[in-house]
Structure 1
Amino acid sequence: MNEPLARFDAEGLPVGVYDDRQAMAVAAAGHTADILRSCVSATGAARVVIATGNSQLAFVAALREEQVPWEKVTVFHMDEYVGIDDRHPASFRRWIREHVEEPFAPARVCYIDGDAADPEAECARYEVLLREAPLDLVCLGIGENGHLAFNEPYDADRDDPRWARVITLTPASRHQQVGEGHFAGFDAVPATAITLTVPALLGARHVQAVVPEARKARAVQRALRGEVGAHCPATWLRGQAGARLFLDRESAALVMDEPVVSGG
């Protein structure tokens, strides 16, 4: 059994803390597989949004060890830079293609076209795809500044009527992309991106947040301990029905004095 080091509840958000990134990834992959299998068993299909980036690599790698009926799963991704093509090293379409589409061969992968001639029209097109049927699961992360997807602090809207929109990246988000090795420098990071909005992300039946690494510890602390609001969009995970947060020892370092609840 891959039992967590600690388990606690943050205002309705179940949190599991695992010994290291690999243990966290295995637990999250098992959770994802259970949900997708259940959805396929119940309705014959499943629809999942999968986050990209370095923090999700161990999780999607662990998914390879799970039995998932991918031939009945439709995959979406949650953001893409405006103005870069799907061959760019930092493209999230490229990430999904290499880490999800090629190894798993899902029934369908719906891509955000970041280099579309009209980004606003692309948002509208993608929103139609998202709304075709309920989303069963959103697998997301938390940014170093507390963003969800690219819904940035103070700009994110919990009641946004749109499910996809063009946003302006904050300097913190652009620096994070440089720090993760996706761009040579700050000025190389696109200033805008297309993102799924908060209502799209949190409107799924299940929401899974996978957040490893020490660089995310401060964001995790704000998400679980801070005042709920747009200044830290990740705080909206608290009390969200069907949500669950997976942490490793490093990302949980500032919240490990929470009470530990044993059991399943």
Structure 2
Amino acid sequence: MQIKIFDTAEELDAYAAGLLANTVKAKPNAVLGLATGSTPLGIYEQLVRLYESGDVSFKQATTFNLDEYVGLPASHEQSYAYYMNQHLFSRIDIPLSQTNIPDGTAADLQQECAEYEAKLAASPVDIQLLGLGHNGHIGFNEPDEALDGGTHVVQLKPGTREANARFFSSIREVPERAVTMGAGSILKANTILLAVRGADKAAIVKEALTGPITTKVPASLLQTHPRVIVLLDREAGRMLEAK
């Protein structure tokens, strides 16, 4: 596991975007695993800049997103499909047919999960971008006695819904369920890129990266992966020794 701590958010974003872009430049048909939320916004902005400068093309790339809320159509402003189109896909040259996001409005969610997992199996992820929840979740894999390995429907914890309520008018509007890649799905990626910012994440960063490996802290499972790159700002990494 490589751990890098940056002085500024801009440096972190540029480094992460560089890793993703270099993956595509080395392998134009690379498969990228993507995340949503506040943390990736600056990373995607940097990727757009690299594309606009002619440094990288995504025409042959394929993407898989980690998760999507159950019940929100792609046109909903808080759906992750909307987020990805607004912040990345509509601003680069990737064909939308090569982007994959779980359909949270599917009539048969179990079938949707099975089909998404089959797509992942057919197109293994070269590099997976992750954020980190306050309770240690990755994707929407919430702390539990056991975790589902494959793509599945998850009941969101109250704390997760509260954390995401800032994006909605009220917590009542935050969906109670989501479709997410499983922990096993995530760990199949060739390389995992974990980006975390903020002092409020410092304790869970330390627990996830140096504490016991347990499903009660899903991100701790990353300790079992051979190629994990962790990018932290000073605040998120303040409980770790700089490396």
TM-score, normalised relative to structure 2 = 0.92
Following the alignment from structure 1 to structure 2, what is the Cα–Cα distance between the partners of residues 100 and 156? 34
> Which deviations, in whole Å up to 9, do the C-alpha atoms of 1:197-252 show, x marking residues without a partner?
01111101111111112222222121123211111111112241121000001111
Match of 1:17 in 2: 5
Q: Aligned match of 2:135 in 142, 145, 152? A: 145
Within the alignment, does 1:165 sit opposite 2:152 as a pair? yes
Match of 1:90 in 2: 78
Within the alignment, does 1:235 sit opposite 2:223 as a pair? no
Following the alignment from structure 2 to structure 1, what is the Cα–Cα distance between the partners of residues 101 and 213? 31
Q: Shift in Å at residue 38 of structure 1?
A: 1.7
Following the alignment from structure 1 to structure 2, what is the Cα–Cα distance between the partners of residues 188 and 218? 29
Query: Structure 2: which 5+ runs fail to align?
Result: none
Q: Shift in Å at residue 111 of structure 1?
A: 2.3
Match of 2:104 in 1: 114
Distance 1:90 1:130, change over 3 A: same
2:67–2:101 CA contact under 8 A, matched in 1: no
Aligned length: 237
Alignment of 1:21-170 (within 5 A): 21-40=9-28, 45-66=29-50, 67-107=55-95, 108-154=98-144, 157=147, 160-162=148-150, 164-170=151-157
Q: Shift in Å at residue 102 of structure 1?
A: 0.4
Distance 1:233 1:193, change over 3 A: same
Write the letter of the residue equivalent to 1:134: P
Following the alignment from structure 1 to structure 2, what is the Cα–Cα distance between the partners of residues 207 and 116? 28
Q: Shift in Å at residue 172 of structure 1?
A: 1.2
Distance 1:217 1:161, change over 3 A: closer
Q: Aligned match of 1:199 in 184, 197, 220? A: 184
Write the letter of the residue equivalent to 1:90: Q
Q: Shift in Å at residue 39 of structure 1?
A: 2.3
Following the alignment from structure 2 to structure 1, what is the Cα–Cα distance between the partners of residues 155 and 114? 18
Could you say what the CA RMSD is over the residues aligned between the two structures, in angstroms? 1.5
1:70–1:106 CA contact under 8 A, matched in 2: yes
Report percent identity of matched pairs: 31
Within the alignment, does 1:177 sit opposite 2:164 as a pair? yes
Write the letter of the residue equivalent to 2:130: L
